[in-house]
Structure 1
Amino acid sequence: MNRQKLSHIFTKIVLKPLRTNLFHIVLLSFFLLAGKHEIYSQENRSLTKNIPAEKQKDSIHLNPDSLKKPTVETKNDTIKKKKSSIDGIVKRKAKDYEKIDQKKKQLTLYNEAELYYKDIELKSGIIVLDYDKDEVYAGRIKDSLGNYTQFPYFKQGQNVVEPDSIRFNFKTKKAKIWNSRTEQSDFRIKAEVSKRENDSVYFMKNARFTTSKNIDDPEYYFLARKIKFVPGKKVVVGLTNMVIADVPTPLGLPFGYFPMSETSASGFIIPSFGDTRDRGYFLQNGGYYFALSDYYDLAVLGDYYTNGSYALRFESSYAKRYAFNGRVNIRFENQIQSERGFPDYTKRREYNIQWSHSQDAKASPNSRFSASVNLGSSQYFRNTLNMLNVGSSLNNNMSSSISYSQTLQTIPQVNFSVTATHSQNTNTQAIDMTLPTFQASVDRIFPFAKRDELKKGIFKNINFQYNLRAENRIHTTDSLFFTAQMFRDSKTGFQHSIPISTNFKVFKFFSVTAGTNYSEVWYLKTISKEFDASQNKVVTNDINGFDAYRTYNFTSNIGTTIYGTFNFGDDKKIQAIRHVMRPSVSYSYLPSFSNYYDTYAIDATGATRADYSRFENGIFGAPGKLMANNIGFTLSNTFEAKVRDKDETKTEPKKVMLLNNLNFSTNYNMAADSLAWSPVMVSGGTQFFNNKMNVNFGTTLDMYAIDNAGKRINKYNIDNGGSLFRMTSANITINYSLSSSDFGPSSDKDSKVNDQNVMNGGRGDDLFGRATDLSDNRHSLFKDKDDDGKDKFKGFYQLALPWDLQFAYSLTYGNNNRENQIVTNSLMVSGNIDLTPQWKVGVSTGYDFVRKGVSFTQFRFERDLLSWRMSFNWVPFGTYSYWGFFIGIKSSVLSDIKWDKRSLPDRRLR
């Protein structure tokens, strides 16, 4: 049943005249009663009094003068004809009867009565239209059991009111409503008596408002004795107190004033209070919300601690339909630990900037702008005072990208883009940026084929294109970020490339690709090296000015696909196994460009010299000095099985993937004088249990031996007393997810709860726990309803308890220098279960078998109190140990009615 906003409880009602015979009946009655005209058929009625034949004296004496000029005296009618306020067409219907009372001038509709007038829709058990008083009344009726049914439903435009009964006067525009039920934003209001004085003022008596979905039996509500309501402007209330489970509480206000608007409104955000061990008492997440326009807003939030620490946050969201949408978060924290003068006193500043922007694909088909920014101080997510985000804390990288791309619809087509990127290592605090990167490319051109011609053969497939890449690259650290030194150390380069390639088939089954690439690199800064006797070391000097080098190479590849099937018979469970091999051999040639190399003395004697290239510090590197003449070998494999389906009604076997991929690769450098073979790389992956378990593995096999210092020597390992290959490293990862939906109806978790975690650079799952945004704890960890609005919980005895489990196992083996040890060996587990429709429990934990300890562990408990939410999060041990309890109203309009108690980890500033 739809409900509307508080500002729409009362609506303007104007009715049109009934399209019936009522008007003709009343008109006919008027003429029949106006005089005593009688009509007889056939003969006239005889007179009862006879007129004598003889003349009699007239008893009336007239003045002759009065006959000269007759006078007529007229008076105005003192009774004015009443004009009805009903000036439109009325449509109505009723199931039982429609009754017209001419004496009372009333129209009565009974049982499933409906009345439509202009933009007004009125449905009720009984409707009485009094066209003499210009009033309409609608009320409920009793059924056969004596229960009230068919409550009035009044709608005007988008405004809906559902009271017990309603009376409205068309002329005065006043209304009186009993037990009105309506909706305003997230509020649902039920008033015992409501009166409408005019279009802009309403009065209510004993009104209760709540965010509960059950307005007739809410789990809580606010009872206001008197309310004056001005739609779209304000609400003034008298004595108001909170009622929980029909039990009045002392929480209340003697009076209140609430501004109200159909659009977003600015207002204060009430902070939460607490205390910490090292920073004292605090006020968190207080501030002001600015409703700037329908397209964007701004929230300014702040924290303050009694030891002097403070934080500021600016959060803004913006959107324009069919164009773009985005979000901006700017956070700054001045963190002080302990007190000045104590040995553990520390002070530092942390900041973080996040910006996400996406463009609607329909906004501009030939251009696109996007942004994903996450930059700031490296230790922000580890030291922040207002967020507990373990996933982001354990992440060692923050990255950003802002790009604009454009396609020019020319022949050939031209594409270009401008991109700014940022990559930051939170452990080393190193930052790499490109401000900006410009890329342009011209679409492929086939010089020996017509534009619409089918391209077959070596010559018609010959094509070339032009690519340009220009970069301004910056390498800096946290301490130098956005300083003058950061820009002085920037490097600029331009790379032009013209690749030429073709492809064709030989011997029908082999595909051949051949190509060459010409590249030219421009730099605006190069280097020179020399030995400085005064410093007794080699110094590198920067040389400003334009310089360039040019290179070229040649590559080719030949490959094919081999299919093999092993049949076991249709009567077997495994009927066949299919093996697909894709071998390929590649050849690449890169000549030596030693002409771009110079020498410098490495000591004061000058007898010993070393080679260097003046381009080696450039962002695209230096040309190769050594000639490369490589042959590469690659073999990829997939294995599938045909399995008889368990469903005997199906005639076709079921395909099962045994190995998604199994890859081998290595190469041989014919120009090398030693160590010509590179290590063999082996990788593979597969899935089990209906793709619920993902297994990926890889290893590196080296055929060369190592000396006692761990350095590779030009001697095969088998000739050194070992095996054919020496395993230098290996790893395996297993991910397995399981949920109740695998055995019944779907019951997915809310996938949006970790959006902030992903935006911060953490994981999207909850293997490292769920992020806790201390500024807003109202959001649930799980879905409360299915898509059809029904409870997911079906009862204890049906065992339909929505749950999910996720496992992640990782094992890494290292033997590069004969250490022969397990580098990492860990298991992570995450699980969630809905014990009842209102109780939800989750846990994230793990175990590190190398360090022999339990990894990050988080327990999550949540109680759904319908309109309220209660949660308890607990990290029992570790660096991020804390506990937090929250109970509050879910709705954003009453988000300040809460109790939030927590013990945050007293982080040591790093």
Structure 2
Amino acid sequence: MSEALVAKTNDAPIFHFLHLDTNQSKIDSNQVIKVDTTISKDAVEQKTNYKAKDSMRIDLISQKIYLFGSAEVTYGDINLKADTIIVDLHNDLVFAKGKTDSLGKPVGQPVFTESGSSYTANEMTYNFKTKKGTISEVTTQEGEGYVKGEKVKKTATDVLYIKDGYYTTCNLDEPHFSLATSKLKIIPNDKIVTGPTVLKIGDVPTPLGLPFGLFPNKKGRSSGILIPAYGDSPRLGFFLKDGGYYLSFGEKADLKLTGDIYSKGSYSGRVESNYRNRYKYNGNFSLSYSNIKDGYREFPTYSESREFWVNWRHSQDPKARPNSNFSASVQAGTNSNFTNNLNSAPNNYLSNNFQSSITYSKLFPNSPFSLNVGANHSQNTQTKIVSISAPNVGLNMSRIFPFKGNSTKNNLGRNIGVSYSGNFKNSIAVADSNLSINRLDDIIANEMQNGVKHNIPLSTSTKVLKYFTFNPAISYNEFWYFKSISKEFNTSAGLIDTNGNPIQTLDVDTTFGFQSSRNVQFSAGLSTKLYGLLQFKKGKLKAIRHVMTPQISYSFTPEVRDGLRSYTDTSGSEIEYSIYESGVFGRPNTNRSNRLNFNLINNLEMKLAKRSDTGMTVKKVSIFDNLGLSTGIDFEKDSLKWDAVRLSGRTRISEILNIAFSGTFDPYAIDDSTGVRINKTNYSDNGKFSRFTNGNISFQLQFKGGDKKKKTSDNATEEELEYINNNLDQFIDFSIPWSFGVSYVINYSKPAFDETITQTLNFNGELKLTDKWKIDFNSGYDFEQKDVTYTNVNIYRDLHCWELSFNWIPLGFQKSYSVTINVKASVLQDLKLNRRRNYYDLIN
């Protein structure tokens, strides 16, 4: 009868209770048992399944089911596992408990799961109907944290009230740290609230505590206050850094507002935002402003600087709009931002050139045309020059073959291809001190340059004598300008020198109006490939393969006098200039050119026999890659027609050493007294074929014990994994035990009598000292200055649920160090100890 009841219970959506006469000591085998099939209003509403590994006992009188050994009960989205489970059908209750093994270790503890939340306890009682329960010694995970309590009450809304518990982000049974409290409330997918809290390290309480605790418990991002770090800067005073507020706008965007304040008056603020629309676009934006006051106003050493910087990166998913794309990469601000800004990253400090670009591109389906619209910006922190080009509009036509359908297979016209590119450009280049909103009208009128460039290349390709490839081409260029210049000396200014003679000044006048210029270039190339193979029957060396690619090219550009003018200087000499030389595309090429160039590329490799588990295999090993020799002759020159011979190449020795080299050899001799090249071969002068004028060789050694591989994790979201794999260099990777790289470059120059040799040495590496310790560094040596170059040392210690990081810049203007020990989990990111000394405090 119990088996039939179990089967019926598993198949039916409700329970059918058996009513027995309890006054009888036993049941007559001929007695009919009446089954009441009336559905009670208090009956449970969902199917209940239960099972046990060891045994199952049903008490019909008390209407209880006893499950022993790996017992499990499932009711809707509720699942309960324990060593022992008792189901009270009459009161809709379930009781679960574990046991201890022969060693006294608890096993089979109740694990209760509901709607994705899981709780582990010693004992628990739960009501299926009211969804209320009591739990003793519960352990549950809430977001990034873990909660444990002696006694817990669960309400119908899944709110937990816990007595004598703690909160931690350490996942060990005996956590390294915890926030202990007598009262704790968990509101699912909202927050965790505690009463008075004491920080414990292990089981030892510390003097650190809070009157209450409030921890976010939402899945994904959540808004909240960012607690600042505090400290003391001897130069700028006491400070609070990186304090502010974090705003979450769901999974698509966030906003972080942070700032720093110093007791001596310095301050800074930052706005940072990340945004992402899956399968459409993603990007980030940041804006920082700093007012840095060094010293006291009353002293002459006082200085004050205001710095700002903007960063914006935007990229579009290629699948969002296959025929159009918008992208942005912006870096712009004050030139001294990275030397004065308190939050400057070392890599930015070492850079002196920053560039920005914003681009929209459009492909027109079923046509060869495409459109590009963009803006560009560049600035050099040394020259203080800012260049802005906007808007830039480009219309391009990809190569088409207009005669392909009307030509035979061997006809030269079949391969004639033509393309087009047109570019409208509008740009200015001014010193940053002159770039201001107040001077905008003046800058546009006097500094801005604009114009249009058209380029139409026409080319074809054909085979000659079966083994040679012939490539003739014609390129037509046309330039449109909207202003031009004129130059002449002016003696009417009334200026006189010390001898009473009138001073002539060169006046440059700008004329607005449409002007155009054009030129054409003819070129042709002839190339082939030669193969050589030397085979060996004995030894590991099986073959040496040599591939030579000789190339001859000829180019001719006729002289174009359009736009050329001249003026006479004070000595009576006639100086030629172009009225377009200040144009946005520069001065068009108006000189006649008639050149023949020679180029020879060599690739040399060998085949080595290598024994493996499957037998002998052959491996290709490169000896030289692109070992090239090039020179040329200019027929338009009266003397010194031949170019210098340039030799270049690279090779790889095993897997760790790369060598690249280049050199220039001049075939002409020099004057013994002046060092100027003369129209006389070096061989006729001293019996040597050429002079070695300059060259360089670089060695790159790279040793490593592993490779950076794509990371996978069950604890990270898809977006987090994508960011990690796209920025592996920003994370500590313990899968690589060690790596060490060295680059050494020697440059030699001797254009005439004096020779110059420069050497640079750079090295970097990382080392996993243990499974928890890692160190990385980079440095170098400047042989010119006889000093160590920029050096940076980082040490990282994995403390399980905590982490320790140490950053040290021991030398140079950015000399500084910082030590941070903090909890890994972002929910407790403000639980940290920080010690920092900026270069502002360490420089002399």
Is TM more than 0.5 here?
yes
The question of whether the paired residues in 2 share the 8 Å contact of 1:578 and 1:640 is answered with yes
User: In the alignment, what sits opposite 2:720?
Assistant: none
Distance 2:574 2:190 in 1: 85
Q: SS state of the match for residue 356, structure 2?
A: strand
Over the residues paired in the alignment, what is the CA RMSD in angstroms? 3.2
Structure 2 residue 345 is matched with structure 1 residue 402: no
Following superposition, the deviation at residue 84 of structure 1 comes to 3.5
Closer, same or farther: CA 538–138 of 1 in aligned 2, 3 Å: same
User: In the alignment, what sits opposite 1:152?
Assistant: 110
User: In the alignment, what sits opposite 1:782?
Assistant: 732
The question of whether the paired residues in 2 share the 8 Å contact of 1:383 and 1:907 is answered with no
658, 669, 672: which one pairs with 2:623? 658
Following superposition, the deviation at residue 540 of structure 1 comes to 1.5
Distance 1:447 1:25 in 2: 86
Q: Which moved more, 1:867-876 or 1:362-371?
A: 867-876
Distance 2:12 2:826 in 1: 54
Q: SS state of the match for residue 9, structure 2?
A: coil
User: In the alignment, what sits opposite 1:477?
Assistant: 431
User: In the alignment, what sits opposite 1:438?
Assistant: 393
Following superposition, the deviation at residue 105 of structure 1 comes to 1.0
Q: Which moved more, 1:692-701 or 1:854-863?
A: 854-863
The question of whether the paired residues in 2 share the 8 Å contact of 1:749 and 1:783 is answered with no
Structure 2 residue 739 is matched with structure 1 residue 804: yes
542, 561, 566: which one pairs with 1:599? 566
Distance 1:37 1:179 in 2: 47
User: In the alignment, what sits opposite 2:719?
Assistant: none
Structure 2 residue 393 is matched with structure 1 residue 458: no
The question of whether the paired residues in 1 share the 8 Å contact of 2:759 and 2:784 is answered with yes
Structure 2 residue 777 is matched with structure 1 residue 821: no
1:413-450, CA deviations, whole angstroms, 9 ceiling, x for partnerless residues? 21111122222222212222321221111232322222
Q: SS state of the match for residue 589, structure 2?
A: coil
Following superposition, the deviation at residue 683 of structure 1 comes to 1.7
User: In the alignment, what sits opposite 1:583?
Assistant: 550
Closer, same or farther: CA 315–202 of 1 in aligned 2, 3 Å: same
Counterpart residue type for residue 476 of structure 1: V
The question of whether the paired residues in 1 share the 8 Å contact of 2:142 and 2:217 is answered with no
1:609-666, CA deviations, whole angstroms, 9 ceiling, x for partnerless residues? 2221111111222333321011011111111011221448533421100111111222
Counterpart residue type for residue 739 of structure 2: D
473, 492, 505: which one pairs with 2:463? 505
The question of whether the paired residues in 2 share the 8 Å contact of 1:475 and 1:486 is answered with no
Q: SS state of the match for residue 672, structure 1?
A: coil
1:184-226, CA deviations, whole angstroms, 9 ceiling, x for partnerless residues? 2211112222102331643111221111122x11111111111
Q: SS state of the match for residue 706, structure 2?
A: helix
User: In the alignment, what sits opposite 2:496?
Assistant: none
1:811-856, CA deviations, whole angstroms, 9 ceiling, x for partnerless residues? 111223432121x312222222122222223333322223222223
Distance 1:747 1:321 in 2: 21
The question of whether the paired residues in 2 share the 8 Å contact of 1:641 and 1:655 is answered with yes
User: In the alignment, what sits opposite 1:563?
Assistant: 531
The question of whether the paired residues in 2 share the 8 Å contact of 1:613 and 1:622 is answered with yes
1:77-120, CA deviations, whole angstroms, 9 ceiling, x for partnerless residues? xxx99644412222222111221111221112211222222222
1:613-632 matches, cutoff 5 A:
613-632=578-597
User: In the alignment, what sits opposite 2:509?
Assistant: 541
Structure 2 residue 136 is matched with structure 1 residue 136: no
User: In the alignment, what sits opposite 2:349?
Assistant: 393
The question of whether the paired residues in 1 share the 8 Å contact of 2:14 and 2:47 is answered with no
Following superposition, the deviation at residue 237 of structure 1 comes to 1.7
Distance 1:184 1:17 in 2: 38
Structure 2 residue 74 is matched with structure 1 residue 116: yes
Following superposition, the deviation at residue 501 of structure 1 comes to 0.8
Following superposition, the deviation at residue 363 of structure 1 comes to 0.9
Q: SS state of the match for residue 562, structure 2?
A: helix
The question of whether the paired residues in 1 share the 8 Å contact of 2:475 and 2:522 is answered with yes
Following superposition, the deviation at residue 523 of structure 1 comes to 0.9
User: In the alignment, what sits opposite 1:249?
Assistant: 206
Counterpart residue type for residue 291 of structure 2: N
Structure 2: give runs of 5+ residues left out of the alignment.
1-6, 32-37, 494-503, 714-722
TM-score for both structures, normalised by structure 2: 0.89
1:327-342 matches, cutoff 5 A:
327-342=284-299
Counterpart residue type for residue 516 of structure 1: I
The question of whether the paired residues in 2 share the 8 Å contact of 1:594 and 1:624 is answered with no
TM-score for both structures, normalised by structure 1: 0.83
The question of whether the paired residues in 2 share the 8 Å contact of 1:17 and 1:88 is answered with no
461, 481, 485: which one pairs with 1:523? 481
Closer, same or farther: CA 144–807 of 1 in aligned 2, 3 Å: same
Counterpart residue type for residue 563 of structure 2: Y
419, 431, 444: which one pairs with 1:487? 444
The question of whether the paired residues in 2 share the 8 Å contact of 1:403 and 1:419 is answered with yes
Counterpart residue type for residue 329 of structure 2: S
User: In the alignment, what sits opposite 1:882?
Assistant: 816
1:348-401, CA deviations, whole angstroms, 9 ceiling, x for partnerless residues? 222221111111121111111111222222232222212341x33222221222
User: In the alignment, what sits opposite 1:669?
Assistant: 634
User: In the alignment, what sits opposite 1:76?
Assistant: none
Closer, same or farther: CA 32–498 of 1 in aligned 2, 3 Å: farther
User: In the alignment, what sits opposite 2:230?
Assistant: 273
Distance 1:322 1:680 in 2: 52
User: In the alignment, what sits opposite 2:698?
Assistant: 733
Distance 2:201 2:408 in 1: 78
Larger Rg: 1
Counterpart residue type for residue 419 of structure 1: G
Structure 2 residue 158 is matched with structure 1 residue 189: no
Q: SS state of the match for residue 135, structure 2?
A: strand
User: In the alignment, what sits opposite 1:789?
Assistant: none
Aligned length: 805
Closer, same or farther: CA 28–815 of 1 in aligned 2, 3 Å: same
Greater percentage in strand = 2
Following superposition, the deviation at residue 326 of structure 1 comes to 0.5
The question of whether the paired residues in 1 share the 8 Å contact of 2:244 and 2:258 is answered with yes
1:698-717 matches, cutoff 5 A:
698-707=662-671, 708-717=673-682
Distance 1:318 1:24 in 2: 53
The question of whether the paired residues in 2 share the 8 Å contact of 1:383 and 1:909 is answered with no
Closer, same or farther: CA 401–107 of 1 in aligned 2, 3 Å: same
Closer, same or farther: CA 38–290 of 1 in aligned 2, 3 Å: closer
User: In the alignment, what sits opposite 1:799?
Assistant: none
User: In the alignment, what sits opposite 1:18?
Assistant: 9
Distance 1:374 1:217 in 2: 48
Q: Which moved more, 1:111-120 or 1:261-270?
A: 261-270
Q: Which moved more, 1:357-366 or 1:313-322?
A: 357-366
Q: Identity rate of aligned residues, in percent? A: 35
The question of whether the paired residues in 2 share the 8 Å contact of 1:97 and 1:109 is answered with yes
Distance 1:664 1:456 in 2: 33
Counterpart residue type for residue 885 of structure 1: V
User: In the alignment, what sits opposite 1:179?
Assistant: 137
Following superposition, the deviation at residue 722 of structure 1 comes to 7.2
Structure 2 residue 817 is matched with structure 1 residue 863: no
